[in-house]
A and B are shown apart, each in its own frame.
Chain A
């Protein structure tokens, strides 16, 4: 199966909310059943299962987390230093326009746009670990004060606050 990505232009959808994510894949990430919706199969980790499920895992169990990851072919920026903004139930993880991820604990969702210039290695090394830690945030127990350090560890750097 190939991934067919095209530039997206809808004057009534300037935020690209409605980019089609035709692929649905079941994963187990951080002990959570994750349903990944994406428009680009290269954004799926190895050993994942392609399925037609939309809100449940392949065994029919309710998904404990939804990942919606959109390959943003209209963004050619390179990755910048990471910025993490924590806002109660929401964490926004950004590496500039080439990587914007939001995790919502109450909605149990991890939502992301990944730019065209992000190759497989950069995705696996820099972004996928952060997605996994954000999944822990979404599905795990209440976030403690030590979460700052944990999130920082996800990208292997130190924090400034």
Chain B
């Protein structure tokens, strides 16, 4: 039988305003469980702005549950639309032009707080963030006294492992994988803007070889993630042995490179090189969203203006973290 759902706000009586990484999400649903799951981001109702996107979620108790949403979720996109199917019947649409996300889920998905907190909200912000001026950056972020360290590098460079090691030597973890960057215009009216790096309190993801550095992972079982990668999913405060922070102000940019020789070296790099790295590693955006592309470029340029270094390390993460901590003390 064909499942047909017409989603409009008349069938979604429950409302919540969420403040997520500098974006405003206007949520409507018919599920108290979804509202409860997202309550950690609740805020007073701000007026709609260019930071607002709408999220409409309809729960159909007749839909079959999806056994494993991580392996049964499928994403595709064309022009201004992105689609996600979860299992056989759960469907989401992300409309980047109208800043509107809508979907239909089963009761089981609605009841899974972990699905919303650790996975779907981060994914939604990853897809929609650029349209509301919140730029997803494939970097870790750590905070020390209100000053942020953005840790970038190619996949496999060891960002997450080093992030945990840094969190154990004086930094606080903001994010280990994706950081969301917004720009707040100075309210004093100077026209200047300030960068804010946000995390989402998502679990830390460590690859199986992290067992070499963190023996407490012995006995745990890595899980399959959306991208097909096998990794440990860890409570951030537990593995970092300290509190997580929601945001920081970028002060240092570190581009991490693994080196086969021992030692840890720091090489200053230009803003142009830093920007080139971010631009060349950013998701391609469709021509249908020219304003979004321009906003992202402006934000990446602002990030690249932070003092930046390439760090080549052949040391274990603990030693690399200590070297970076000492370096940041001096710079």
**Also in contact, A12 and B284, with CB within 8 A (given A83-B89, A87-B100, A102-B93):** yes
Does B272 belong to the interface (CB within 8 Å)? no
Instruction: Return 29 A-B CB contacts under 8 Å, by A number.
Output: A10-B284, A12-B282, A72-B76, A82-B3, A83-B4, A84-B5, A85-B5, A86-B4, A86-B5, A87-B7, A87-B93, A90-B93, A94-B91, A96-B74, A96-B88, A100-B76, A100-B85, A107-B79, A107-B80, A109-B79, A111-B78, A113-B78, A151-B4, A158-B2, A159-B2, A159-B3, A161-B4, A161-B6, A161-B60
Total inter-chain residue pairs, C-beta < 8 Å: 127
Q: Which of A15-23, A26-34, A41-49, A52-60 contacts B (4 or more CB under 8 A)?
A: A15-23
Does B48 belong to the interface (CB within 8 Å)? no
In the complex formed, the residue of A with least CB distance to B8 is: A88
In the complex formed, the residue of A with least CB distance to B78 is: A111
Inter-chain CA distance A143–B186, complex, in Å, is: 46
Closest Cβ of chain A: how far from B82's Cβ, in Å?
A: 6
Q: Which residues on the A side are within 8 Å of B79 (C-beta)?
A: 17, 68, 107, 109, 111
Closest Cβ of chain B: how far from A117's Cβ, in Å?
A: 14
Contact (Cβ within 8 A) A85 B77: no
Does B129 belong to the interface (CB within 8 Å)? no
**Also in contact, A17 and B2, with CB within 8 A (given A85-B104, A111-B81):** no
Q: Which residues on the B side are within 8 Å of A102 (C-beta)?
A: 78, 81, 83, 93
- Per-residue contact bits, chain A 58-101, to B (CB 8 Å; 1 contact, 0 not): 00000000001010100101001111111111101010110010
Does B1 belong to the interface (CB within 8 Å)? yes
Interface residues, chain A, with chain B CB atoms under 8 Å away: 10, 12-18, 68, 70, 72, 75, 77, 80-90, 92, 94, 96-97, 100, 102, 104, 107, 109, 111-113, 148, 151-152, 155, 157-161
Does B283 belong to the interface (CB within 8 Å)? yes
Given contacts A87-B102, A90-B93, 19 further A-B contacts (CB under 8 A): A12-B281, A12-B282, A14-B283, A15-B75, A15-B77, A68-B79, A72-B76, A81-B3, A84-B4, A85-B5, A85-B103, A87-B8, A100-B76, A104-B81, A111-B81, A113-B83, A158-B1, A158-B2, A159-B2
- Per-residue contact bits, chain B 96-107, to A (CB 8 Å; 1 contact, 0 not): 011010111000
Contact (Cβ within 8 A) B5 A161: yes
Closest Cβ of chain B: how far from A113's Cβ, in Å?
A: 5
Does B95 belong to the interface (CB within 8 Å)? yes
Chain B interface bracket (under 10, 10 to 19, 20 to 34, 35 or more): 35 or more
Contact (Cβ within 8 A) A155 B2: yes
For the residues of B in contact with A, the DSSP-based class is strand
Inter-chain CA distance A70–B283, complex, in Å, is: 20
Contact (Cβ within 8 A) B85 A160: no
Complex partner residue of A17 from B6, B77, B100, B103, CB under 8 angstroms: B77
Contact (Cβ within 8 A) A160 B1: yes
In the complex formed, the residue of A with least CB distance to B64 is: A81
Contact (Cβ within 8 A) B75 A14: yes
Closest Cβ of chain A: how far from B323's Cβ, in Å?
A: 30
Contact (Cβ within 8 A) A160 B78: no
**Interface positions of B from 157 to 190, Cβ below 8 Å from A:** none
Q: Which residues on the B side are within 8 Å of A86 (C-beta)?
A: 4-7
**Interface positions of B from 262 to 285, Cβ below 8 Å from A:** 281-284
Complex partner residue of A81 from B89, B100, B102, B284, CB under 8 angstroms: B89
Inter-chain CA distance A151–B83, complex, in Å, is: 19
Closest Cβ of chain A: how far from B157's Cβ, in Å?
A: 14
Contact (Cβ within 8 A) A152 B80: no
Inter-chain CA distance A90–B62, complex, in Å, is: 23
Q: Which residues on the A side are within 8 Å of B100 (C-beta)?
A: 87
Complex partner residue of A160 from B62, B97, B103, B286, CB under 8 angstroms: B62
Q: Which residues on the A side are within 8 Å of B6 (C-beta)?
A: 86, 148, 161
Inter-chain CA distance A158–B1, complex, in Å, is: 6
Q: Which residues on the B side are within 8 Å of A70 (C-beta)?
A: 78
